[in-house]
Structure 1
Amino acid sequence: MRIAGLTQDFMGFTVVGPGHFLGSGHPGPDDREQPSHLGLIESTDGGESWRPVSLSGEADFHAMEAAHGRVYGYDSVSGRLLVSEDRQTWDPRADLALADLAVSPDRPEEVIATTEQGPARSTDGGRTFAPVGGAPVLVYLDWPASGRLVGVAPDGAVHVSTDGGGTWARRGQVPGTPQALTTHGGAEVYVATGTGIHRSTDDGRTFRVFQEL
């Protein structure tokens, strides 16, 4: 991704608020001033510029969430979930391999992570996780409202839960390999693949190409 004249490889990204982003990843090939692992970086001008915040040269967050005044991040270097309340000091939590994570909008201690074996739930802030029984294997996940979770499987099938992950219903399908997922409002679902961004306005039942890549 090219931002402010620099190309950066963003592995983790989350929105804190309007124009306020947090990210992580690697500098571009033309940037020899920054370490290979950017740690936590921040933009407060809509991505026009970025500044290092913490763990520069140490952490590479591949999944991130900002919620309840905290930042939850999966560090691929250590293989652990890290949590911070001030973005400077980090508390190491569970050691597990995950692709994505979502935090309950109501309970800061409840986290669901996607793993190769299926979703896993934590009720102690990510210190321990247990499998979510009966859930489909998902790669990306969003938790936009109290009981509503939306996830996409490795094959592009979209699944929705309306009871906090207790039960799941398969909805539509996107072509290609999913690379990211997000939701907006009560019914919009966006899934990015290698060829484009696909948008649903009926809670994942049908998709159309929103933007080709």
Structure 2
Amino acid sequence: MIDRQPVPRPSPHRRRTRSRSAYALLTAGIAVLLAGCGGPAQPDTSPAAADTTAGLFDQVGHVHGVGVDPADGGIVIAGHHGLFGLTGEGTLAPRQDSPQTGGPDLMGFTVAGPAAYLASGHPAPQDTSTPNPLGLVRSTDGGATWEPVSLHGQVDFHALDVDGTAVVGLDATRGLLMTSSDSGRTWQERAPLAALDVALAPGDGTGILATTEDGVMASRDGGTTFTTVADSPLLAYLAWADDGTVYGIGPDGTVHASSDQGTTWQRRGGTASPPQAITAEPGGRLTVVTDDGVEQSTDGGATLQRLA
């Protein structure tokens, strides 16, 4: 169910000069998010896709999300062809029940608890019975199977975040933020938002950050209104750790951190190649999927080491 309410436009803001290459990467990412995908997941054989999915990510396709499962500390990566777990040998293993046929195109993905995930996107190519787009789906068996929660055939969330029963999602079709207070069963329409990623403040319910081509935007009223954070860095992806520190990574791989809900940011280290997804745990432990592999930090992004 969707509760439709009149929503104001984000407040006007001053544009700032940005690195052309980083700005172009973020703008392209937002354009892809807003365009959405027109059908079930299909292998992408374009040169650009080959460049960003070589080696480790051949079976994954485009990477759309990463998380750490509190059940076992395992790293899970969501992509164009389903959900995959990082093995101790540094390879990726499919999580779905039928790995030989591929899984759904998981455009939005977040870890909701031990072996419990929320996602959105499109059915697998061989799945002709599931509505497209998926709406919100849930797995309670570590990604082996998925069950519908809401908005089947209606909404394609390209970014999701969860904190307890609170869920936020970016509706890629309409460029609209949506929120839920009951684990995604019912939804409220919030502000129009041209963003690449969103993050929900832990234990708060009203604080939301978003990455846009003009910098970080913040909402302090549950997504009804957004304002640009003054002097914020250009970020692509966000991750809010349960200890209150929020991390962001720029299109060029530079990591930033904030301890005041995104009001001010401190520059940390950087990855060896452009990022595709980031997740954060308390104590400064970050996991970043890049174009070339998986990197991890145990010091809040000051240094990163290659895992795979």
User: With structure 2 as the length reference, what TM-score do the two structures score?
Assistant: 0.66
Matches within 5 A, 1:1-213: 1=82, 2=94, 3-5=96-98, 6-86=102-182, 87-145=184-242, 147-211=244-308
More strand by share: 1
Shift of 1:190: 1.0
- Contact kept in structure 2, 1:19 and 1:45, CA below 8 Å: yes
Name which one, 1 or 2, has greater alpha-carbon Rg. Answer: 2
How far, CA to CA, are the matches of 2:140 and 2:242 in structure 1? 25
| Bigger RCO (CA 8 Å, 6+ sep) | 2
Shift of 1:68: 4.2
The number of residue pairs the alignment matches comes to 211
How far, CA to CA, are the matches of 2:258 and 2:216 in structure 1? 12
The AA in structure 2 aligned to 1:200 is S
Gaps of at least 5 residues in structure 2 are 1-81, 83-93
Shift of 1:166: 2.3
Shift of 1:33: 1.9
Q: Percent identity?
A: 45
- Contact kept in structure 2, 1:43 and 1:51, CA below 8 Å: yes
Shift of 1:147: 4.5
How far, CA to CA, are the matches of 2:290 and 2:129 in structure 1? 31
Q: Deviation per CA, 1:73-94, whole angstroms, max 9, x where unpaired?
A: 1110121111122322211001
How far, CA to CA, are the matches of 1:162 and 1:122 in structure 2? 16
User: With structure 1 as the length reference, what TM-score do the two structures score?
Assistant: 0.94
- Contact kept in structure 2, 1:183 and 1:189, CA below 8 Å: yes
Shift of 1:103: 1.3
Shift of 1:145: 4.1
Question: CA 1:106/1:52 → structure 2, altered by over 3 Å: closer, same or farther?
Answer: closer
How large is the RMSD of aligned CA atoms in angstroms?
1.4
How far, CA to CA, are the matches of 2:147 and 2:174 in structure 1? 23
How far, CA to CA, are the matches of 1:128 and 1:187 in structure 2? 30
- Contact kept in structure 2, 1:105 and 1:144, CA below 8 Å: yes
SS of the equivalent of 1:126 reads coil
SS of the equivalent of 1:154 reads coil
SS of the equivalent of 2:103 reads strand
